[in-house]
Amino acid sequence: MDDLKYQVDLLTALNERLMKSEKMYRRIAECSGTLFMYFDLKSSPAKVDLVGPWDDMVGEKIANHPYDESYMLNLLLDEDQDEFRIHMLELEREGLESGSCEVRSRNKRYWLSCFAKVTYDDEHRPIEKIISIKDITKIKMNSEELEYLAFYDSLTGVYNRNYFVRKFRDMCELADSEETSVEIMFVDIDDFKKINDSIGLLFGDELVQEFGQYLKDFNSDDILVGRFGSDVFVIAVYNPCGQRSADVVYRKIKERLRHPFVLTNKTELMFTVSCGVAEYPDAGRTALEVIKNAEIVLYKAKERGKNGIQYFELEILNKFINNISVEKQLKEAIETNGFQLYYQPQYYASDGKLRGAEVLLRWPDPEGDGFITSPDEFIPIAEKNGAIVPIGNFVLKEALKTFNDWRTKYHIPMILSVNISAVSLEKENFVDTVSHALSLYGVSPEVLELEITESVFINNFEDVIDKIKTLRGLGIRVSLDDFGTGFSSLSYLRQIPIDTIKIDRSFIETAVKDDSSGIIYESVIEMSKKLGFETVAEGVETREQFNYLREKKIDIIQGFLLGRPISKVEFEKLLIRQMP
């Protein structure tokens, strides 16, 4: 009897321990956030046990449902059920030990990672199977977002740079094998910086977004659209028909741009775009080279006045490469004081007396006795990258220093004309720089003449007029150079406060040849005199031109006929000859 009681007590104790540990494992399973399905495969039909927070996941009391192998399937999205079936339910039939898959729940709210493990007996009969199911929605969402970020531009939804380049490369490879070509087009909003400044960055972004979404619709099997930078879009066209394909895209874009883009704040905006187009393999050996070259011709389109399309030309590329090398050399020349000044004499037409000299910049080649390149080539480059400002300061100082030397040595009265770039004149401290240079060498302002061109008035007419007035107020003379080459209208001459007008050399060539040009030249001289300006004829090369000008009562003559630009040493010889 005691024995029996002992046996019962022992069983009770064992049972309690078992229940306790089962409770513990269930609790642990629930806390893990993972769902478990336990299949006892020895019984038939298999006994299924669910452990873990199933109620939370399914959203209803699990115990109310009868469940078996297919229970789990019913929880899944129809199109993902096969995936689950193959990886999970059929494990034992295939005799495999484990498998896993990622599937979506029926309500699409969850991404589930399912892992199954089967245990076999000695004869390789399955005895139990455990499926564990984890909610991986968050991880999945993050990686989807990452994937999106990896391929697409988040603002506009077109391809981002990396992905576009990859796809473009693939297109080029395919083009090689199919013996065709791929065209790439850079599309860039004109004056986007100005637009941004006027409407603010946020609305600027919105505009890019709207435009990008419009461009996105060009995407097709043969066309890729991407964004490379703030307002720079790229469009690749596979197997284009010559320039026609890019032309068609360009014309469609232009058509769209005839109507304004409307922003959320109801602002209506119109803008234009510039396009650069290059074709693989014609415009480069590699995909990247073609992309780079399309960008280079885009800049050319901008240079040509925007709102236009520019196709790749070898000449543009060569000029670009040359400019880069000039730019690099310019930098070195500034650092090593590699420039030199030449002086071209100017004479009064009436009595042939020396009026003064125009200072002209020269860039001697340190390795030879020629010049690296002419100012007509390097000055526009220096203006574009801002190098003209230090260069211009050097010219001004050097010229005034030389002038001071000559004045003390030769006592010949003369006027020194210095060319001033619009870029320098626009600098806030320009007036100070000039007056500082004058006082540095004790030169009086009346002998300095600054030569400006009409281009200085393009950007901010009022500001420039104010600056010129200040300069003239100090006693400095101002001369309008190259008159007749820009938008030159005689009526606007009345509005600008200048002392001298230099009539461009292209005028004199024709003035002596045909009557109508002669009439224009004459009326320019007459009008200038009436407005009180001194007149200078530039580029006088022949005796015939000289006589003509004298007859028309021009004030001053400058040109190869009377003297070419010469070095400081040569000009000193000229001054000595002038001495009484």
Site residues (vs ligand C2E, CB under 6 A): 344, 359-361, 374-376, 379, 392, 395, 419-421, 481-482, 505, 539-541, 559-560, 565
Q: Nearest approach, Cβ of 527 to ligand C2E (angstroms)? A: 21
Window 448-467: contact mask with Ca ion (x via CB under 5 A):
---x----------------
- Which residues 432-451 are close enough to bind Ca ion by CB under 5 A? 451
- Which of Ca ion, ligand C2E, none does residue 92 bind (CB under 5 to 8 Å by kind)? none
Residue 567's H or E segment, with its range, is strand 566-567
Select from 85, 78, 35 the least CA-distant residue to 56: 35
Which ranges constitute the DSSP H helices of 217-261? 244-257
Secondary structure class of 277 (helix, strand, coil): strand
Q: How far is the CB of 437 from ligand C2E (least distance, A)?
A: 13
Q: Which does 338 bind (CB under 5 to 8 A by kind): ligand C2E, Ca ion, none?
A: none
- Output 99 or 392, the one with its CB closest to ligand C2E: 392
Q: How far is the CB of 316 from ligand C2E (least distance, A)?
A: 23
Interaction of residue 481 with Ca ion, rule CB under 5 A: yes
Q: How far is the CB of 266 from ligand C2E (least distance, A)?
A: 46
Q: Which does 539 bind (CB under 5 to 8 A by kind): Ca ion, ligand C2E, none?
A: ligand C2E
CA angle 225, 226, 229 (to 5 degrees): 150
Beta-strand pair 223-229/98-104:
unpaired
Among 135, 398, 449, 482, binds Ca ion (CB under 5 A): 482
Which of 477, 475, 470 is closest to 534 using CA atoms? 477
CB closer to ligand C2E out of 99 and 356: 356
Least distance in angstroms from the C-beta of 351 to ligand C2E: 21
Closer to Ca ion by Cβ: residue 361 or 438: 361
HSE, side-chain direction, 13 A CA sphere, residue 526: 7
Read off the DSSP letter of residue 62. G
464 binds, among ligand C2E, Ca ion, none (CB under 5 to 8 A by kind): none
**Binders of Ca ion in range 529-558 (CB under 5 A):** 538
Establish if 419 lies at the interface with Ca ion (CB under 5 A): yes
Comparing C-alpha atoms, which of 266, 229, 249, 250 is closest to residue 155?
229
Those residues whose C-beta lies under 8 Å from the C-beta of residue 180, and which sit 6 or more positions away, are 238, 239
Give the separation between CA 391 and CA 404, rounded to whole angstroms: 20
Helices (H) and strands (E) in the chain, counts: 23, 21
Q: Which is nearer to ligand C2E, 212 or 539 (CB)?
A: 539
Nearest to 420 by CA among 473, 385, 471: 471
Residue 360: contacted member of ligand C2E, Ca ion, none (CB under 5 to 8 Å, by partner type): ligand C2E
Query: Tokens standing for 153?
Result: 């531009």
User: 160 vs 453, which CB is nearer to Ca ion?
Assistant: 453
| From Ca ion, ligand C2E, none, interface partner of 560 (C-beta below 5 to 8 A by class) | ligand C2E
Residue whose CB is less far from Ca ion, 486 or 518: 486
Locate tokens 């820009």: which residue? 486
Cα first-last separation, the chain = 154
Which chain residues interact with Ca ion by CB under 5 A? Answer: 419, 451, 481-482, 538
